[in-house]
Structure 1
């Protein structure tokens, strides 16, 4: 039986891309990468909630109405008990004595936490393109800060659009003196705007986070469409499952809400990574069709290689010192390479030494006996 898979007679481009994405999934530890992104996403959840709620507290008179609007959005993806468990923390945040300070602190912590998420996403995309991160830590983190600012603006707009529910939009329209047709138009147009903002966020992540420069920025790539489509299906299916089938509240109580958020964040990050893997393999296919040797490595310019040189020097030092230790051990052990052979030689040497000592003792005894015999008086 052959150890290698036979080549298809007519390898189609679609099959090649799909199989490479599958192999990348197995080889690049996508499950672990999605778990890492989930951790950093949830790390940014608390400061984001603080910034969001304190920002709402700056512009509303009655905090209870704002809490209700936030909970209306939360009911789409959380269980009823989990939604109710959020009420008390939200009301406490809205009753802060200095919401402006809380908003500033939450905004800064959100920026820092989301930049950690963008950094982790960049590492995942480096794995997708099979390259090492070459930017120094200060440059890499600074670059991710800029990416995070764009993402924060996009996510803030998404949050505002989601929070402005039909009830709240009618209230705002009444305060501004705008007629009902304008609110109906807003409630219809907000969905295309949400899709556009989501596409922008994914495109920025795919293009700017890895340490390679793709040929051009594709606002709507195949990977982005797969990621957003998969995320939408996962959102709908997961929301249906949570609201109709699951028993998280029965088994976990209020912790069930945390479990739901964890699973939802994990699924979202998983489809994002798969979309990035798909984009990298489609780019590989385009290069192969142009005759570029890309079956092993996708030849793309690197954003920076300073860190790669440092890592190469460190690796060379590790190898050089390790070789010196090995060669010194060889000199001390008489050139023996195998540790088992070295132990056998030591044992044989000990046995030979013991045999030689025994032989010397036996010879000494024979010599003593001979001397005794020669000095004995002869019989007449």
Structure 2
């Protein structure tokens, strides 16, 4: 049932990339098997114009599976400075609709609907920079780190890049050959420290799960620059990143120098701890998107995005867990409660940005502008 919904027909989106998130129809250039359960999907550049993206960002792939359009966000593993074709890496997840669909059926020449690249897990490259970029990766978390490493090596000749990469076993190392080649081509500038949970008997590297002690030992083998010349980027399973964060905190690394990309959300845990059920009641919200205004009522237990989609409003979204920021909007009036805000920077939060996919209205005058 619609609650005072105002809706107008939207114009078709162009294939030309723009600053605003939109839809692209991309042709698959090739599919590369990285490991037994991971593939990289390379796309042809659109004839209307080259896709502009930043290292560390992601694409949202849209595919019809069992009669329903599914969306999943996948990080770009390529560098806009190095690679002619943008690519994402997809690792199969047990029971995962999209990852198994792509792994089983996708081939060169196929077309995929894709949302334009977005994401804040980035950095600005400058040829004058002389810094040490230390990357922590776990499993498929290597994907955006690979993009950052390639770009840093290409754009900052004075900088050094180190990667501490944890995997289940040697066969699980995504980009293994590429990483070895990058080390050979950049002696003294690029170093990889592998950590294997199940290591072969002749393995000379770190063994077991990534621990604070292993992190401490690994950091001692890396090039040393002053603290203000070092930046840290991490991406991988939540428990791994918790260990990395604690280790860096123990070393008194300022939070401003630590950047994190999450593939999974703690929204459920946060909601259980912080939800104020007395304030979350049915309230009308106004959402402004692409110049159109929509009004509808959000019930308790619903998010602003969920109800908008139920009303057949074509709002942008991807992960629906507060991580990817595809749905990001600015709350220009009223107040909302977010179950998860990890995807937003402190500056964005201060400016009033919210994530409708995990937001509930707390006042009767909520107005959110998206795009």
TM-score (norm 2): 0.20
For CA contacts below 8 A with separation 6 or more, give which structure has more relative contact order.
Answer: 1
TM-score (norm 1): 0.19
Structure with greater helix share of residues: 1
Structure with greater strand share of residues: 2
Whose Rg is larger?
A: 1
